[in-house]
Amino acid sequence: MRRTKPLAALAVASLLALAACGSGDGPGEGTEGSFGETDAGKDKDPNAEGPAPEVEGAESGGTITVFLPGDYGPDDLDPTNGWSVTGNSIQQALTSRSLTQYRVDSDGNATLVPDLAVDLGQPNDDYTQWTFQLRDNASWEDGSPITAEEVAFGIARSMDSTAFPGGPGTEYSTQFFAGADEFEGPYTDKDTDWTEWEGVEFDNDANTVTINMSKSFPDMDYWGAFMAIGPAPLGKASNPPAYGQNIMSNGPYKVESFKAQDELVLVKNDQWDPESDPARHQYADKFIFKFNADPDQTDQIMLSDNTESQTAISNDLSASSYQKALDTLGDRLVQQSAQCTGFLYPDYEKTDLAFRKAIAYGYPYEDVWAATGQVPGVTRVQANSIMPPGMAGKPDYFVDGEAFSYDPEKAKELLAESEVEPLYSAIYYEPDPLAVAGAKVAQKGLEEAGFTVKYTPVQESPYSTWTNPDDKLNKSLTVRGVNWCSDWPSGSTFIPSLFRGGATYNTGGFAEESIDEMIAEVPNLPIEEQADAWGEIDEKIMTEFFPAIPVNYYNNLFTFGSKIGNPSGDEALGAPNYKNVFVMQ
């Protein structure tokens, strides 16, 4: 998923916000906080059964307040429309169940386990048909059981790209499910009844749902962990957009009140049966999510250890408070890798290999990072491959034998070899002072490395320029960017979206037939070879063509109040581990 946190600010801030922790003094330098590598959700356990294992020392009761500084949160809670780190991490953990889910242990390691299904699905030989046997003891917040038909309807909803333009179904359901060209979703397609659509079949008596694919889709079990692949009430009850403001919960918590961009209050759902759920808990009585909290204020509250902050969680920490948090919070300051990579993406047609490598040496990583308010080696770390740490098959290689670092002399040599004009033309997001500072520093560094730099300010998210092929400004750029996060730990959610010719977020316009062929080939390989195949493509793209400069991986900092039990992160979603936290009485 694209990082949509504070969309505009992050899009640019992070693009320009690059990491220190360069080559030599890599991770784990002293106690200054190091980049925690994880193996995000690579493990699967199809036999996990409810109830979820108790968290050590867990107690019931209490209210947990979650501050989300500078984070607007989702505009609606419709599971089909949910495709943001913030919204999905909250809803998938607490309110909205799907076919599968992640179980996160106290170290933050995630395991894919069943949710509404009793296992991780039964695929046929070529992964073109998946059958999920549903459990019988799952129910809605009003006590009615969740039927196979409701799950099938939820899946059919994910086909509706018009009603849910921002939903993940636009990327996966419409790509992989059968009959996508004949069925546009239950709200847009008035001619076809959704039950006639060939993509999904259900049997209420046997309690099974069968999904037919148009092409091989071995990652269906991971896709099933999205709340979009979960049940929806039949008929008008779930019509968008009204349903998004008033959803029917089926997880351990239900919505008491929701004000978009302001507050979400969740209370216990007494109809949820712990026996039916292998991963979720129901410890706290209440969750209050405060969206768009003031960052500095939140830091002060969290560091003060007053009554309010003792039972609070914050999903972000400013760099200026990092040192103090490190000194005072101890293990209540949690660093969580977010499985995202930030790229500089030079225009593939306008530039050559030497030019792109010159950028890799001429871009002042640590300095831009410092200027944009990141913590070197902690919240941003220099990247060396396309796929971030924790993804299955992430290769360990360095394009030039060692990590790139700021080296203006080397950049100049490379520029001399390059046959194109040394023009670095890019954009920055002007309303964010940090992005402006980052652009200034990047310009300084690149100019010292021999580039002619032209930075143009924009007032909207840079993505609206980068992804618009008709934009005059966009056409004049020689360097664009993209920050990408994986939807699940497989290269299939990363590499095709960025490096397939013509993909929306392939902002540099990279197109090589050999790579496109390799990408198309992977789903046909035996499943155990696919991870390595993605790693191979990753390395091939970078060492042969070097179309984009992987600049940084992302880490998030979470802070937990002194009375919050089990302070930990959820590596599958890069969020606090809402499923397992509790209030110590």
Partner 1 sequence: MSAETAGPETLGHLSDEPKGEDPGTKGRTITGKSPLRIAMGRLLRDKIALVCMAVVLFFVFIAVFAGPLQKLFGVNTDTVLPAQFLELGGVPRAEYGPPYGPLTMEHPFGIAPRTATDNLAFWLEGAQNSLQIAAIATILAMLLGVTLGLLGGFLGGAVDRFLTFVTDFFLTLPFILAALTIAPIINERFRDSPNYATVQVVALIGVLAGFGWMSVARLIRGEVLSLREREFVQAARVMGMPTGRLLIKELLPNLVAPIVVASSLMLPAFVSAEAGLAFLGIGVTTRPSWGQTLNQGISFFEPYPLYLYQPLIGIVLLVLALNLLGDALRDALDPKTRR
129 binds partner 1 (CB under 8 A): no
Q: Cβ 367 to partner 1, closest distance in Å?
A: 4
Among 7, 234, 319, 525, binds partner 1 (CB under 8 A): 319
Q: Using CA atoms, how far apart are residues 166 and 187, in angstroms rounded to an integer?
A: 15
Q: Which is nearer to partner 1, 48 or 479 (CB)?
A: 479
Binding-site member from 376, 395, 535, 550 for partner 1 (CB under 8 A):
376
Residue 359 binds partner 1 (CB under 8 A): no
The residue (of 269 and 298) whose beta carbon lies closer to partner 1 is: 298
Straight-line distance from the first to the last Cα atom of the chain, in angstroms, rounded to the nearest whole number: 37
Do 39 and 257 touch, CB atoms closer than 8 A? Answer: no
CB of 415 to partner 1, least distance (A): 19
Q: By CB under 8 A, tell whether 154 contacts partner 1.
A: no
Q: How far apart are CA 45 and CA 47, in angstroms?
A: 5
Helix (H, G, I), strand (E, B) or coil at 505: coil
For partner 1, which stretch binds (CB under 8 A), given 285-293, 345-353, 431-439, 569-577?
431-439
- Of 194, 289, 369, 499, which one interacts with partner 1 (CB under 8 A)? 369
In whole angstroms, the minimum distance from the beta carbon of 508 to partner 1 comes to: 21
Q: Does 17 bind partner 1 (CB under 8 A)?
A: no
Choice from 71, 367, 487, 570 touching partner 1 (CB under 8 A)? 367
Which residue type does 327 have?
Answer: D
Please give the residues from 279 up to 318 whose contact with partner 1 meets the rule CB under 8 A: 295-296, 300, 318
* Distance separating alpha carbons of residues 554 and 403, to the nearest angstrom: 17
The minimum distance between CB 40 and partner 1, in angstroms, equals: 25
Q: Which of 437, 498, 522, 564 binds partner 1 (CB under 8 A)?
A: 437
Binding flag, residue 432, partner 1 (CB under 8 A): yes
The strand pairing partners of 268, in sequence order, are 253
Minimum CB distance to partner 1 smaller for 261 or for 300:
300
CB of 302 to partner 1, least distance (A): 13
CA dihedral 316, 320, 324, 325 (to 10 degrees): 10
For residue 70, state whether it binds partner 1 (rule: CB under 8 A).
no
| Residue carrying the six token digits 């996508």 | 180
Q: Does 430 bind partner 1 (CB under 8 A)?
A: yes
Is residue 160 within the footprint of partner 1 (CB under 8 A)?
no
| Residue 492 per-residue DSSP state | G
Among positions 18-57, residues that touch partner 1 (CB under 8 A) are 20, 32-33
DSSP, res 89? H
Determine, following the binding rule CB under 8 A, whether residue 551 of this chain makes contact with partner 1.
Answer: no
- 3-state class (DSSP) for residue 229: helix
Token pair belonging to 141? 């917040």
Among residues 377, 489, 496, 565, the one that binds partner 1 under rule CB under 8 A? 377
Tell me the closest approach of the beta carbon of residue 377 to partner 1, in angstroms. Answer: 8
Choose which of 375, 414, 426, 551 interacts with partner 1 (CB under 8 A): 375
Q: Does 378 help bind partner 1 (rule: CB under 8 A)? A: yes
Q: Which residue has the tokens 């059958």?
A: 131
Q: Which is nearer to partner 1, 430 or 539 (CB)?
A: 430
Compute how many residues bind partner 1; rule: CB under 8 A: 44
Binds partner 1 (CB under 8 A): choice among 38, 95, 314, 372: 372
Q: Which is nearer to partner 1, 118 or 368 (CB)?
A: 368
> 192 vs 83, 188, 198, CA distance in Å?
27, 10, 11
Q: With helix as H, strand as E and coil as C, how does 332-386 read?
A: HEEEEEEEEEEEEEECCCCCCHHHHHHHHHHCCHHHHHHHCCCCECCCEEECCCC
Nearer to partner 1, 259 or 324 (CB): 324
Q: Which is nearer to partner 1, 82 or 295 (CB)?
A: 295
DSSP string, 283-338: -SSEEEEEEEE-HHHHHHHHHHT-HHHHTEEES---GGGHHHHHHHHGGGEEEEEE
* Closest CB 458 distance from partner 1, rounded Å: 7
Q: How far apart are CA 5 and CA 89, in angstroms?
A: 12
Q: Per the structure block, which two tokens stand in for 346?
A: 């030079």
Minimum distance from CB of 366 to partner 1 (Å)?
4
330 binds partner 1 (CB under 8 A): no
**CA distance linking residue 515 with residue 499, whole number of Å:** 8
Residue from 409, 433, 468, 544 touching partner 1 (CB under 8 A): that is 433
Query: CB of residue 434 vs partner 1: minimum separation in angstroms?
Result: 8
Question: In angstroms, what is the minimal distance from the CB of 321 to partner 1?
Answer: 7
Contact mark string toward partner 1, 453..482, x via CB under 8 A: ---xxxx-------------x--x------
Nearer to partner 1, 300 or 514 (CB): 300
Residue 99 binding partner 1, by CB under 8 A: no
| Distant-in-sequence, close-in-space partners of 32: CB < 8 Å, separation ≥ 6 | 326, 377, 378
Residue from 282, 223, 227 nearest 252 by CA: 282
Peptide bond into 489 cis (omega under 30): no
CB of 424 to partner 1, least distance (A): 15
Examine residue 412 and tell whether it contacts partner 1 (CB under 8 A): no
CA distances from residue 345 to 341, 358, 360 in whole angstroms, order as listed: 12, 13, 11
Secondary structure in 3-state letters for 511-561 = CCHHHHHHHHHHHHCCHHHHHHHHHHHHHHHHHHHCCCEEEEEEEEEEEEC
The binder of partner 1 chosen from 60, 323, 468, 543 (CB under 8 A): 323
Q: Which is nearer to partner 1, 152 or 334 (CB)?
A: 334
Is 71 a binding residue for partner 1 by CB under 8 A? The answer is no
Residue bearing tokens 């009375």: 563
Cβ-based burial of 5 (10 A; exposed 0-12, middle 13-18, buried ≥19): buried
Binding site for partner 1 (CB under 8 A): 20, 32-33, 295-296, 300, 318-324, 364, 366-367, 369-373, 375-378, 406, 430-434, 436-437, 440-441, 443-445, 456-459, 473, 476
